[in-house]
Amino acid sequence: MSSFSSIIRNPKDLNYDGKDVDEQIVLVIRRSSITNLPWMLTAFLFAFMPFLVNPFVASLKVEGQQLISPTFLGATTLFWYLFTFGYFLACFLNWYFNILLISNKKIVDMDFHGITYKNISETMIDNIEDVTSNISGPVGTIFNIGNVYIQTAAEKREFEFSDVSDPSSIRDIISDLVANKRHNNHAAS
């Protein structure tokens, strides 16, 4: 599976700060790829806009002379494309790096906002009390996109991951990991 997938099962050679030696990552989850369409369409419109605006602005004349010089129009267009690229890059990085890792031992929620802020929360599988998934709205129902809520007994009481593909499957995998962990702990006692 591609590293650009919304759900990556049993990724090989994936590490994160704080990963235990005997820990195996079961799932890497991102928001559904379909949720990228609004910002991708916006970036496309931003990229196409100079083709519509520049001819109009270049045709503006006052007393026979151009209102905006071609040099200024070219510089403005360059800055517009730099802004568009920055917008596209920021939206892509936000999607790519905001992930939920599910391992055989932990749930790790990594949230990055911009390039200057990150928040990483984790809880042990033993601390999970309840896992809930929901799908709402026509887009969610049609494309099987929803939210997963993980209730814990730890300090951070709830982990929420929004707009994921196949939330019911993710809920089942987490519930199975919790049940297996509790069964193994009970058998070892």
* 5-33 pLDDT, tens digit each: 899 999 988 888 888 888 999 999 999 99
**pLDDT on residue 4:** 82
Q: In this structure, is residue 113 part of a structural domain?
A: yes
Q: Are residues 132 and 164 in the same domain?
A: yes
- In angstroms, the CA 46 to CA 83 distance is 9
Residue 167 pLDDT exceeds 80: yes
pLDDT interval class at 1 (50, 70, 90): low
- Tell the residue number behind the tokens 């235990």, with chain if given: 20
Q: Is residue 1 part of a domain?
A: no
The tally of domains found in the chain comes to: 2
Residue indicated by tokens 């390039």: 115
Going by pLDDT thresholds of 50, 70 and 90, the confidence category of residue 63 is confident
Mean per-residue pLDDT, 157-176: 92
- pLDDT for 41 beyond 70: yes
The CATH number for 157's domain is 2.30.29
Tell me the percentage of the chain whose pLDDT exceeds 70: 97
Q: What is the mean pLDDT of residues 124-150?
A: 93
Q: Are residues 129 and 83 in the same domain?
A: no
Question: Please, what is the angle between helix 70-97 and helix 37-59, to 10°?
Answer: 180
Residues 25 and 67 in one domain: no
pLDDT tens readout for residues 93-116: 999 999 999 999 999 999 888 778
pLDDT cut 90: percent of the chain above it: 65
Is the model's pLDDT at 183 over the cut of 60?
yes
Q: Domain range holding 47?
A: 38-92
With respect to residue 2, please indicate whether it lies within any of the assigned structural domains.
Answer: no
Pair (87, 113) in one structural domain: no
Q: Do residues 103 and 144 both lie within one domain?
A: yes
- Select from 92, 111, 136 the last residue of a domain: 92
Residue 3 reports pLDDT greater than 80? no
Same domain, 120 and 161: yes
How remote is the C-alpha of 158 from its chain's centroid? 18
pLDDT of amino acid 155 = 64
Identify whether residues 83 and 168 lie together within a single domain.
no
Q: What is the pTM of this model?
A: 0.84
Q: Are 123 and 184 within one domain?
A: yes
Answer yes or no: do 88 and 102 share one domain: no
User: Which band of pLDDT confidence, cut at 50, 70 and 90, is reported for residue 171?
Assistant: very high
The answer to whether 147 and 171 have CB atoms below 8 angstroms apart is: no
